[in-house]
Amino acid sequence: MNVTVLDHAADTTPRASSTSAEIALRGVTRAFGTLWVLHGIDLDITPGQFVAIVGRSGCGKSTLLRLIAGLDTPTSGSIALDGSAEGRRGSVRLMFQEPRLLPWQRVRANVEVGLTHTSDSAERRRQADDVIAQVGLSGRERDWPAILSGGQKQRVALARALASHPRLLALDEPLGALDALTRIEMQALIERVWQKKGFTAIVVTHDVAEVVALADRILLVEDGRVALDIPVDLPRPRRRGDPEAAVIEGQILDRLLRA
Amino acid sequence: MKRIIPWLVPATIVLAWQAASMVGLVLPEFLPAPTAIAVTAANLLVSGELWTHVRTSAWRALSGFAIGGGAGFVLGMANGLSSLSEKLLDTTLQMVRNIPNLALLPLVILWFGIGEEAKLVLVSLGVFFPMYVNTLHGVRSVDQQLLEMGRAYGMSERQLFLRVVLPGALPSVFVGLRYGLGIMWLTLIVAETISASAGIGYMAMNAREFMLVDVVVFAILIYAALGKLADSVARLLERVCLAWNPVYAKA
């Protein structure tokens, strides 16, 4: 399915912070019992940046994302959004590896889950249909999730996440369960939406090619610490097989496989 | 054609039965022919006697089901949602559950006589446990990932219950409902047969006194029909309420 409803934004520079969030982590640790998953993370993410977190399984990358998204609280240290540690809920949205759609609600109602703070039902519906169109699913508003394909379900999940105009979108291996082609389509869609809306995006993944295709900045997490912080300064939209991208990809893979 | 298939076996049995009666293979004192039972049924219907008994039985069944099923649903929800409520009540309920409700029949007759209360208590008690156990199981097996999603998307506790927990538990609640319907009829038949002054079970026992085999067989057939009717209604409800689930939508 082609998605042509979005216009391509020409610039890729960070935008004004009314649409995007600035994130600052200071000495963040997280322990589960006696197991220390994160050891003192210091991190600054500028508004509108597309950050990718990579690492081997169990390195703590998902824990880090869940902390930033407010689904979990750090054992010590602080996490601030736009300088404030409070009020993260409304402006942060999370997309999971699984679509996590309510099977008993149709597509539109599932997207409206992202609009729980909009009390007017006509307005909620208008906004939901609007964002459904943005992910290229117009005409499917009345469908049950059960009849959608894996990629379409993830589009609905993306629409639900975008519905409330989040200033930070956190993606936890959102494309891990999709086939290769659907995955590339979804990457392009996420990139276009990000360029148009200008939110800050953080994606956790173990697909190194995906990281290089999407991110402005790559954080490689190893044993609960940020081991590498690589800026990716390539023009968008990025072509697959670009030699410069291949160099960065090789650099990350080397580090991951060395451990 | 698809609609006919389920009825092929019952129809064949009735035809074979009729044939056996007509050639004298089965004596009418032992088992009357279907046609003879149809005549009896028509007579009972015309005299209004049948209607009185069916109405009495149906009322007992439905009110008992509403009370027992309602209580089972509410307690199942409560114990599924609150660990305090579960700790407080579940052990007790599991102990009582292991007593067959019909074992209480002598006690219930002593307490309530053969009045309506006795039947109501027994049916409610019988329906309560399947509803309770299945509702509790339904609430417990609600997808944790969906709950996490709901919380992350800022749903209030009330919204979580109405949009995630309740619909998630519903398929299991329906299992309890259909199971409860079976127990409802079973309990009612036994209770009415042993002690009643009206109802289909009473009609059958009364007929036995006078060796009216046709009425006895007819009473059994009514139970079968009512049971099938109740199950069909439950299936219809299932199809409406669980339309989102491909397993139920096509059935």
Whether residue A2 is contained in a domain is answered as no
Residue A58 contacts B where some CB pair is shorter than 8 Å: no
- Per the domain annotation, does A88 fall within a domain? no
Report pLDDT digits (tens) over B22-68. 998 888 888 999 999 999 999 999 999 899 999 999 999 999 999 99
| Residue with token string 């929800």 | B77
Tell me how close the Cα of A114 comes to any Cα of chain B, in angstroms. Answer: 6
| Partner-chain residue, chosen from A71, A103, A146, that has the shortest CB–CB distance to B152 | A71
Interface membership of A8 toward B (CB under 8 Å): no
The parent domain of residue A132 ranges over 99-165
DSSP E strands: which ranges in A66-190?
76-81, 92-95, 168-172
Q: Residue A119 has what pLDDT? A: 82
Contact A229, A217 (CB under 8 A): yes
Positive or negative torsion for Cα A177, A179, A182, A188: positive
Q: What pLDDT is stored for residue A14 in this prediction?
A: 41
Confirm whether A254 is domain-assigned.
yes
Name the strands in the sheet holding A92-95, side by side, starting at the edge strand that comes first in the sequence.
A92-95, A168-172, A200-204, A50-54, A217-222, A225-231
Number of domains within chain A: 2
Examine residue A35 and state whether it is found in any structural domain, yes or no: yes
The answer on pLDDT for B115 being more than 70 is: yes
Q: Same structural domain for residues A157 and A195?
A: no
Q: Looking at the structure, tell me whether residues A199 and A79 fall in a common domain.
A: yes
Residue A38 β-bridge partners: A30
Q: Which residues of B touch A93 (CB under 8 A)?
A: 153
Residues A59 and A174 in one domain: yes
- Tell me the pTM: 0.81
- Asked if B61 and B192 count as a contact pair (C-beta separation under 8 A), the reply is no
What six digits make up the tokens of B223? 């139970």
Domain membership flag for residue A67? yes
> Which among B148, B153, B243 has the least Cβ separation from residue A113?
B153
What does DSSP assign to residue B164? I
DSSP at B103:
G
Using an 8 Å Cβ cutoff, are B53 and B202 in contact?
yes
B244: chain A residues, CB-CB within 8 Å = 103-106, 144-146
- Mean pLDDT (chain B, rounded): 90
Stretch (H or E) spanning A202: strand A200-204
Residue A120 and residue A24 share a domain: no
Is residue A141 domain-shared with residue A190, that is, in the same domain? no
Same domain, A27 and A61: yes
Q: Are residues A72 and A177 in the same domain?
A: yes
Q: What is the pLDDT of residue A56?
A: 87
Whether A110 maps to a domain, the answer reads yes
Give the integer Cα–Cα distance in Å for A200 and A194.
8
Please check whether residue A102 touches B, CB under 8 A.
yes
pLDDT at residue number A162: 92
CA R_g for chain A: 18
Q: What fold does the segment set B35-242 form as a domain?
A: MetI-like fold (1.10.3720)
Q: Is B29 exposed, middle or buried (0-12, 13-18, 19+ CB in 10 A)?
A: exposed
What is the Cα–Cα distance from B83 to B81, expressed in whole angstroms?
A: 7
For A89, the closest of B154, B159, B246 (CB atoms) is: B154
Q: Cβ contact (<8 Å) for A113 and B146?
A: no
- Is A173 contained in some domain? yes
Backbone angles phi, psi at A28, to 5 degrees: -80, 125
* Mean pLDDT confidence for B83-88: 90
Residue A197, domain CATH: 3.40.50.300
User: Which residue shows structure tokens 């009370």?
Assistant: B67
Taking an 8 Å cut-off on Cβ atoms, the answer to whether A94 and B152 are in contact is yes
Task: Say if residue A226 is in the same domain as residue A114.
Answer: no
Flag if A71 and B149 touch (Cβ within 8 Å). Answer: no
Q: pLDDT per residue over B182-213, tens digit each?
A: 899 889 888 888 877 888 989 999 998 898 99
pLDDT, residue A13, reads 42
Q: How much helix, strand and coil, in percent to the nearest 5, is found in chain B?
A: 80, 0, 20
Judge if A77 and A203 occupy the same domain: yes
Looking at residue B149, its pLDDT comes to 93
pLDDT of residue A47: 92
Domain stops at, among A110, A139, A165: A165
Residue A175 CA: distances (Å) to CA of A88, A153, A187, A206, B154:
25, 11, 8, 10, 24
pLDDT tens string for chain A (259 positions)?
444 444 434 344 444 457 888 888 998 999 998 888 999 899 999 999 999 999 888 888 889 999 998 888 899 998 888 877 765 556 889 999 899 999 999 999 999 999 988 888 899 999 999 999 999 999 999 999 999 999 999 999 999 999 988 999 999 988 888 888 888 889 999 999 999 999 999 999 888 888 888 899 999 998 888 988 999 888 888 877 788 888 888 989 998 888 6
What sign does the CA torsion over A125, A131, A135, A139 have? positive
Q: Where are the domains of chain B?
A: 35-242
What's the rounded mean pLDDT across residues B59-78?
95
Closest CA to B245 of B178, B174, B179, B180: B174
